[in-house]
Chains A and B, each alone.
Chain A
Amino acid sequence: MEFLLSDDQLTLAEGVKDYLAGTHGPEVLRRLDEGSNRDPTIWQGLVEMGLPALLVPEDQDGLGLKLLDAALIAAECGRSCLAEPLVDTAFVAVPWLTAKGDIADLAPIVSGEKIVPLAHKINGWVADGDGASLQSVDPLRNLTVAPADATDDPHLLNLGALMSAAQLVGIADAMLEQAVEYAKVRKQFGQPIGAFQAVKHHLATATVALEFAKPVVWRAAQAMDDGIDSAPVHVSHAKLAAGDAALQMAETAIQVHGAMGYTYEVDLHFWMKRSWALIGAWGNRAFHMKRVDGGVIGGSLDIGPAHTFA
């Protein structure tokens, strides 16, 4: 029993974080927003880091890493508000295709030639697909109408929900950092607004929710890696905890930014809108609440002190 992210895992995630911080800052989001939302050079950079190969089995020329490793990197993608469809293709489609035995598509994914638009019934849209286009609140999301034959595969749904939860904790981290930095420099009444308890307490409250959502996400990733029966409940718990924490953080961050937060000019809106998009994606709050409810009240899960890791 060791609930601990390894040095290797943290080092890998830190590497991606540093790379994205250096190459994918807010100025890039603005450039993409004014252009076509996607940039082959950004995608190529991610491919050169080997990220599409992360979850591809080693016998298919991949790195053969685990969902927990990918979840940590998905969180970094959220932190940088990455627009390219890396998480969908590399961390959702790859393990789904591998589980189904569809290994033919893995090689072009590893080489970066192929992205995999995911059509699941629960969404009603496809991200980075080729149908008629839909407009998302998130200016950097390319949504299209879902095809009639979209799958309802629960494994795909769980992977999508897990990786959304992972991105959401990274997005929330980024919004917190932006709000804290703003609160340190914005002065009113002769002092930084971050010195006022009303502002501090808002941020502290949102921080508590976020910090207690993170271990739930890592636990859900590990539950899927271990293939335990209760994994869907843990995924739903993760989606709820991360979604609620991110929404609370978004509302807190805009409040701390004041009128500046209500503009397109402050960077915050990119992350806020991504959080709204992912909170509803891959099963909304009611869907996931129902699944946890089935475990806790419905009795399909052992609960109580002796069942922490049931």
Chain B
Amino acid sequence: MDLNYTPEQQAFRAEIREWLADNVPEKPLLTLEGEEGFHQHVEWERKLASGNWGMVTWPKQYGGRGLDLIQWLIFEEEYWAAGAPLRANQNGIFLLGPTVMEYGTDEQKARFLTPMANGEVMWAQAWSEPDAGSDMAAITTKAVRDGDHYVITGQKTWSSRASFADWGFGLFRTEEGSKRHKGLSFILFDLNSPGITRRPIRQLHGEPGFAELFFDEVRVPAENMLAGQGEGWNVAMATAGFERGLMLRSPGRFQATAKRLADLYRANEENTSPATREAVTQAWMGTQAYAYNTYSVAAKILAGGKIGAEASLNKIFWSELDRSMNRSAMQLMGAAAELAKFADGSVNQWLDGYIFSLSGPIYAGSNEIQRNIIAERFLGLPRQGAG
């Protein structure tokens, strides 16, 4: 255990801090969930890439800096401390990217990772279907092999970023008559392919942050399949592991929220209760616990370990912590909490934050599913219906 940064790590922190101070937009961007805001965020991705900060942990040959996970955590800390925008390409860089790194061929890595790190291609996920939500193995959208293509027919939904993104990835049933986890394949597809219809869905806040996707005999080149035909479930589980486990929600983002919450408390101290005061202190404690745990997991991975069912513990912890912090902020704001915009025209970021935090316990595998995973794989309890 050594909780001191090396001189090299400190120098790296100073370097990213300086770049962010020079480059982070002074005014907050419009919301990532709307069309104009999405394009502003894509511009920011390209700005990041221009400084070679797109995805610092990736190898240099794919547009990264070849840095380790501790440097990634330092990057993320400075990123959120600087108030930098949300990552428009988070589905790509945090979820698909690590999966391509593990399962992709050299050709696929070169074709998909570099444009991802450079902010040239924005990615949407396409897991859920109308009848396959928490029960993802119930997927029915089929991809039928036809020469050197697959022909996709069916429907995906709750597809984050699909209203505006360029490419998508998801699971498709490639073996007719196959059941559950078998016969599924992981396929990447151009969202502008003929036969794809996007129907944006307005989210709780009114913006089209996700979409339904209709596939009508969409032809996708066979070389867009990750790993082998029928191996999709395992590949998707790896993606879910990255998402829940380490990369999607780095601690810095929540630590920034806890700090803003303490500031908000001090500004509203007369209108509060002891319970809210304790909740503000709890916010710092929760975000710090999450940060220590993330540093610990990163150290274990650097020492050759892997993330397993612990990823589900993480997902429950950060999603419920985020909701709790934003709820406390709403309570602190009192009558002003309902204002979508303040009198000076600025956006009520806490209201946005609270609304967004309500999705956390639902997406990336609902917290009920995570609790089942913890109970069965971490604690070893029997599956439901077991005699």
Chain A residues close to B by CB (< 8 Å): 1-6, 9, 68, 176, 180, 183-184, 190-192, 194-197, 199-201, 203-205, 207-208, 211-213, 215-216, 218-219, 222-223, 226, 237, 240-241, 289, 292-293, 295-297, 303-309
A212–B81 Cα gap in the complex (Å)?
23
A-B contact count (CB 8 A): 184
How distant is A285 from chain B, measured CB to nearest CB, in Å? Answer: 10
Q: Contact at A305–B77, with CB atoms within 8 Å?
A: yes
In the complex where A201-B375, A208-B316, A305-B251 touch, is A191 in contact with B387 (Cβ < 8 A)? yes
Whether a CB of chain A sits under 8 angstroms from the CB of B1 is: yes
Q: Write out the residue numbers on chain B whose beta carbons fall within 8 Å of the beta carbon of A216.
A: 285, 288-289, 292
Q: Contact at A304–B256, with CB atoms within 8 Å?
A: yes
A190–B384 Cα gap in the complex (Å)?
11
How distant is A225 from chain B, measured CB to nearest CB, in Å? Answer: 8
Q: Write out the residue numbers on chain A whose beta carbons fall within 8 Å of the beta carbon of B280.
A: 296-297
In the complex where A204-B371, A297-B266, A297-B281 touch, is A4 in contact with B258 (Cβ < 8 A)? no
A297–B284 Cα gap in the complex (Å)?
10
Residue picked from A211, A216, A304, most chain B C-beta under 10 Å = A304
Q: Write out the residue numbers on chain B whose beta carbons fall within 8 Å of the beta carbon of A303.
A: 255, 258-259, 262, 284
In the complex where A4-B296, A4-B299, A208-B374 touch, is A200 in contact with B70 (Cβ < 8 A)? no
Q: Write out the residue numbers on chain B whose beta carbons fall within 8 Å of the beta carbon of A215.
A: 289, 292-293, 295-296
Q: Write out the residue numbers on chain B whose beta carbons fall within 8 Å of the beta carbon of A240.
A: 285
In the complex where A296-B284, A303-B284, A305-B256 touch, is A1 in contact with B292 (Cβ < 8 A)? no
Contact string against A for B residues 289-308, beta-carbon threshold 8 Å, 1 for contact and 0 otherwise: 11111011011100100000
> Which of B2-10, B32-40, B50-58, B203-211 contacts its partner?
B2-10
Residue picked from B17, B78, B266, B296, most chain A C-beta under 10 Å = B296
Q: Write out the residue numbers on chain A whose beta carbons fall within 8 Å of the beta carbon of B371.
A: 197, 200-201, 204-205
Whether a CB of chain A sits under 8 angstroms from the CB of B317 is: yes
Q: List 13 A-B contacts (CB under 8 A).
A: A1-B295, A4-B1, A4-B303, A180-B381, A199-B381, A200-B376, A204-B370, A205-B371, A212-B289, A212-B290, A216-B288, A289-B281, A305-B81
Q: Write out the residue numbers on chain A whose beta carbons fall within 8 Å of the beta carbon of B9.
A: 1
Residue picked from B255, B368, B375, most chain A C-beta under 10 Å = B375
A197 touches which of B277, B284, B372 (Cβ 8 Å): B372
A294–B284 Cα gap in the complex (Å)?
12
In the complex where A184-B381, A196-B384, A204-B371 touch, is A308 in contact with B285 (Cβ < 8 A)? no
Q: Which of B367-387 contact A (CB under 8 A)?
A: 368, 370-372, 374-376, 378-387
Whether a CB of chain A sits under 8 angstroms from the CB of B166 is: no
A211–B316 Cα gap in the complex (Å)?
12
Q: Contact at A207–B378, with CB atoms within 8 Å?
A: yes
Whether a CB of chain A sits under 8 angstroms from the CB of B107 is: no
Q: Write out the residue numbers on chain B whose beta carbons fall within 8 Å of the beta carbon of A306.
A: 13, 17, 77-78, 81
Q: Write out the residue numbers on chain A whose beta carbons fall within 8 Å of the beta carbon of B316.
A: 204-205, 208
Q: Write out the residue numbers on chain B whose beta carbons fall within 8 Å of the beta carbon of A176.
A: 379
A68 touches which of B1, B258, B293, B300 (Cβ 8 Å): B1
Whether a CB of chain A sits under 8 angstroms from the CB of B242 is: no
Q: Write out the residue numbers on chain A whose beta carbons fall within 8 Å of the beta carbon of B255.
A: 303-305, 307-308
Q: Write out the residue numbers on chain B whose beta carbons fall within 8 Å of the beta carbon of A1.
A: 2-6, 9, 70, 295
Q: Write out the residue numbers on chain A whose beta carbons fall within 8 Å of the beta carbon of B265.
A: 297
Q: Contact at B299–A195, with CB atoms within 8 Å?
A: no
Task: List 14 additional A-B contacts (Cβ < 8 Å) besides A215-B292, A297-B280.
Answer: A1-B3, A1-B9, A3-B299, A4-B299, A191-B382, A195-B384, A197-B372, A201-B372, A208-B374, A212-B286, A296-B284, A297-B277, A297-B281, A305-B252
How distant is A165 from chain B, measured CB to nearest CB, in Å? Answer: 13
Whether a CB of chain A sits under 8 angstroms from the CB of B120 is: no
Q: Contact at B251–A195, with CB atoms within 8 Å?
A: no
A3–B298 Cα gap in the complex (Å)?
8
Q: Write out the residue numbers on chain A whose beta carbons fall within 8 Å of the beta carbon of B385.
A: 191, 195
Contact string against A for B residues 312-344, beta-carbon threshold 8 Å, 1 for contact and 0 otherwise: 010011000000000000000000000000000
How distant is B362 from chain A, measured CB to nearest CB, in Å? Answer: 16
A292 touches which of B79, B285, B372 (Cβ 8 Å): B285
In the complex where A304-B81, A306-B81 touch, is A218 in contact with B252 (Cβ < 8 A)? no
Q: Contact at B387–A190, with CB atoms within 8 Å?
A: yes
How distant is B163 from chain A, measured CB to nearest CB, in Å? Answer: 30
Contact string against A for B residues 2-24, beta-carbon threshold 8 Å, 1 for contact and 0 otherwise: 11111001000100010000000
A6–B387 Cα gap in the complex (Å)?
41
Q: Write out the residue numbers on chain B whose beta carbons fall within 8 Å of the beta carbon of A293.
A: 277-278, 281
